[in-house]
Amino acid sequence: MWFIQPKKNYVPEMPWERVDEPELMSWQIRVRDYNTFVGNMVFLGTYLLVGGFLWALVYFQGGGVVDENSMLLIVMSVLMMPIVMSMSHQTSIIAYRLTDKGYEKISWKPQIDSVKPVMKWTAIVSGVAVLVATFFNPYFILGAVGPAGLGLIALSMGNSSGYQSLVRGERHENRDWDAVEEIVLWDKRRLIGLKMTFDDGFGPHSSYQKIYCNKGDVERVLGFIKNVTPSVDFFERKLIVNEISAQ
C-alpha cells in the first residue's frame, strides 16, 4: 500500500548496464513519481462520491438518526479510505546509480506486492460487517456497494497477471551526461530535472529526466551533477511532473 515504506536496499541487486564504470554515487527512494495534485483530486473526488453514497444511506435509512446501522456505515466509510488511497496515492521505488560518464535509473511500483493481502482482508471484513448488518435490516445489503465492493474489485484486479504487469510500471533509463542540455532544481519536491532531447520516431522533442533526492542529499547530488556537466545552465523552478518525464 501507499504507506508501506521499503526496508530493503535494492541497489546492489539491480541489473545495471554500466557495471564496467566505477560507481560514484547510488541511492534508492520511494516517491509519488507523478503530478501529485491530480492524484489528490482523484482521491478526493472518489472518496466524496462513494463516501457520500454511504452517508446518504445513513440519512435516508435512519431518518437522520444515528443508530447501530448508521455507525456501521460510518465505520465502513473510514475503512474505504485506504482502498481509495491505494489507487490514487501509488508510489514508485526508484534506484539510481551515477558514474563519471552517465547515470542509470530503475523504477517500479511495488503496490501490487502488498495490495492483494490488504484488499483480501478488507473485502472479508467489510463483507462480514454487511452480512451481520443484514440481520438487523435486510436493505443494508446495499452497503456492499461501498468498501466491500471496492475490495472485491481490487482483489480480482490484483490477481490478474496482466494488471500486475501494468501497474508495476518497471522502467530502466541509461543516460549519458553529455546529453544534458539544462539542469533544473525543484527544491520543494527534492527533484532535479535534466533536460534532454530525444527522437522517438515522431521527430525530436525535449523533456526533463527526473532525479529524486533523499532528504538532506539534494546539494550533494546537485553538486555532483554540476561537476560532471560544467557547461550546462542551471535554474531553480517548479516542474510539471508526468509519469515518464517532466516539463
Q: Angle, nearest 10°, between helix axes 111-136 and 161-168?
A: 120
pLDDT value at position 20?
95
Residue 3, pLDDT above cutoff 60: no
Q: What is the dihedral sign for C-alpha 133, 139, 143, 148?
A: positive
Q: pLDDT per residue over 119-157, tens digit each?
A: 666 666 666 666 666 666 665 555 555 555 555 555 565
The closest of 91, 95, 106 to 11, measured between CA atoms, is 95
- Mean pLDDT, to the nearest integer, of 205-234? 96
Q: Residue 79: name the closest of 130, 131, 147 by CA.
A: 147
At residue 33, the pLDDT reads 83
User: Using one digit for the tens of pLDDT, what is the confidence trace for 47-100?
Assistant: 777 767 767 766 666 555 555 666 666 666 666 676 666 666 678 899 999 999
Confidence of residue 216 (pLDDT cuts 50, 70, 90): very high
Report pLDDT for 2. Answer: 43
Work out the average pLDDT over 204-230.
95
Q: Is 245 in contact with 197 (CB distance < 8 Å)?
A: no
What does pLDDT average to over the chain?
78
Amino acid sitting at position 213? C
Residue-level pLDDT at 182:
97
| Predicted pLDDT of residue 170 | 83
Is residue 246 predicted with pLDDT exceeding 90? no
- For a pLDDT cut of 70, what percent of the chain falls above it? 57
Q: What would the mean pLDDT of 214-221 be, rounded to a whole number?
A: 96
62 against 10, higher pLDDT: 10
Residue 161 has pLDDT above 60, yes or no: no
Share of the chain above pLDDT 90, in %: 39
Burial of 150 (0-12, 13-18, 19+ CB in 10 A): buried
Cα distance between residue 64 and residue 58, in whole Å: 7
Cell triple for 188? 520543494
**171 closest CA partner among 89, 90, 93:** 93
More confident residue, 175 or 115: 175
